Structure 1
Amino acid sequence: MAQQVLLVTGGSRGIGAATALLAAERGYAVGVNYRRDAAAAAAIVQRITAAGGRAVALQADVADEAEVVALFARLDATLGPVTALVNNAGILEAQMRVDALDAARIGRILATNVTGTLLCCREAVRRMSTRHGGGGGAIVNVSSVAAKTGSPGEYVDYAASKGAVDALTRGLAQEVAQEGIRVNAVRPGFIYTGMHADGGEPGRVDRVKAAVPLRRGGQPEEVAEAILWLLSPQAAYSTGAFIDVAGGR
Structure 2
Amino acid sequence: MAPVTVITGGGRGIGAATARRLARAGHDIALCYRRDDDAANAVLADLRATGRQAIAVRADTTDPDQVDALFDAATQLGPLTGLVNNAGVTSPIGPFTELRVEDLRRVVDVNLVGYVLCAQQAARRMAGPGAIVNVSSAAATLGSPGEYVHYAAVKAATDTLTVGLAKELAPRGIRVNGVAPGIVRTEIHADSGVPDRADSAAGRIPLGRAGEPDEIAAAIAWLLGPDASYATGTVLRVSGGL
TM-score by length of 2: 0.98
Question: CA-atom RMSD, angstroms?
Answer: 0.8
Which stretch has the larger CA shift, 6-15 or 101-110? 101-110
| Counterparts of residues 90-101 of structure 1 (less than 5 Å) | 90-101=88-99
Matched AA of 2:101: A
Deviation at 1:80, TM superposition (A): 2.4
2:123 aligned residue (122, 125, 146): 125
The match for 1:19 is 18
Deviation at 1:215, TM superposition (A): 0.6
Partner Cα distance (1:50, 1:206) in 2 = 32
Partner Cα distance (1:99, 1:221) in 2 = 35
The match for 2:83 is 85
SS in 2 for 1:176: helix
The match for 1:158 is 151
Partner Cα distance (1:66, 1:81) in 2 = 20
Deviation at 1:96, TM superposition (A): 2.2
Partner Cα distance (2:91, 2:216) in 1 = 22
SS in 2 for 1:124: helix
2:184 paired with 1:191: yes
In the alignment, structure 1 segments of 5+ residues that lack a partner are 129-133
The match for 1:29 is 28
Partner Cα distance (1:171, 1:60) in 2 = 26
Partner Cα distance (1:137, 1:217) in 2 = 31
Partner Cα distance (2:62, 2:2) in 1 = 29
SS in 2 for 1:62: coil
Matched AA of 1:11: G
2:182 paired with 1:178: no
Partner Cα distance (2:70, 2:5) in 1 = 13
Matched AA of 2:111: N
1:163-215, Cα deviation, whole Å (9 max, x unpaired): 11000000000011111100000000010000001111111011111111111
1:57-82, Cα deviation, whole Å (9 max, x unpaired): 01100011111111111111x21232
Matched AA of 1:175: E
In the alignment, structure 2 segments of 5+ residues that lack a partner are none
2:196 paired with 1:203: yes
2:111 aligned residue (110, 113, 116): 113
**Identity across matched positions, percent:** 49
Partner Cα distance (1:232, 1:50) in 2 = 22
1:75-105, Cα deviation, whole Å (9 max, x unpaired): 11x2123210000000011112221123222
Partner Cα distance (1:63, 1:212) in 2 = 33
SS in 1 for 2:201: helix
Partner Cα distance (2:79, 2:146) in 1 = 42
SS in 1 for 2:5: strand
Deviating above 3 A after TM superposition, structure 1's stretches of 4 or more consecutive aligned residues are none
Partner Cα distance (1:200, 1:82) in 2 = 37
Matched AA of 1:105: D
Matched AA of 1:57: A
Which stretch has the larger CA shift, 56-65 or 44-53? 44-53
Partner Cα distance (1:229, 1:159) in 2 = 25
